Amino acid sequence: MVSTRQTFGWGEAKWGGVAIAAEGFYAALNKDAAELGVSAMFRAIRPRFDLHVFDHVDSTSTQLWRMLASGYGAGTVAIARQQSAGRGQRGRVWQSEPGGLYLSLAMEPDWPVADAAQLTCLSAWGIAIALNNLGVPIRVKWPNDLFFEGKKLGGILTETKLAYSPAAELSMGAKPLGYIKQAVVGVGINWHNPTPETGVSLVKILESLPGSLAKIKINCLEMLGALVLRGILQGVFFQQRVGSQVFMKDYEKLLTQFKKPVLLDRKLLDQMVFSEESSGCETNPSQPSLSKEHLLSQLLNRSGEVVGLSEKGYLKVALKGTPIEWSGHDRLGVTAAKSILLFAPSAIGF
Q: Where in the chain is the domain with CATH 3.30.930.10?
A: 12-252
Q: Which residue has the higher pLDDT, 297 or 3?
A: 297
Q: Are strands 76-83 and 50-57 parallel, antiparallel or unpaired?
A: parallel
pLDDT over threshold 70, residue 124: yes
What's the one-letter identity of residue 294? H
What's the one-letter identity of residue 14? K
Residue 30 neighbours by CB distance under 10 Å: 11
Helix, strand, or coil (residue 103)? strand
Cα(184)–Cα(345) distance, integer angstroms:
16
- Phi and psi angles of residue 223, each rounded to the nearest 5 degrees, phi first: -65, -40
At 175 the pLDDT is 59
Kindly report, residue by residue over 225-280, the tens digit of the pLDDT.
999 999 999 999 999 999 999 999 999 999 999 999 999 998 888 888 876 543 33
CB 112 within 8 A of CB 45: no
Cα(195)–Cα(193) distance, integer angstroms:
6
What's the one-letter identity of residue 8? F
At 285 the pLDDT is 39
Q: Which of 166, 164, 163, 145 has its CA nearest to residue 154?
A: 145
Q: In CATH, which superfamily holds the domain spanning 12-252?
A: Bira Bifunctional Protein; Domain 2 (3.30.930.10)
Output b/e per residue, 307-316; b: 16+ Cβ within 10 A. Answer: bbbbbbbbbb
Cα(45)–Cα(92) distance, integer angstroms:
35
pLDDT over threshold 90, residue 179: no
Q: Which residue has the higher pLDDT, 140 or 17?
A: 140
**What mean pLDDT, rounded, does the chain reach?**
81
pLDDT band at 64 (very low <50, low <70, confident <90, very high): very high
Cα(36)–Cα(21) distance, integer angstroms:
20
Contacts for 322 with CB less than 8 Å, ≥ 6 apart: none
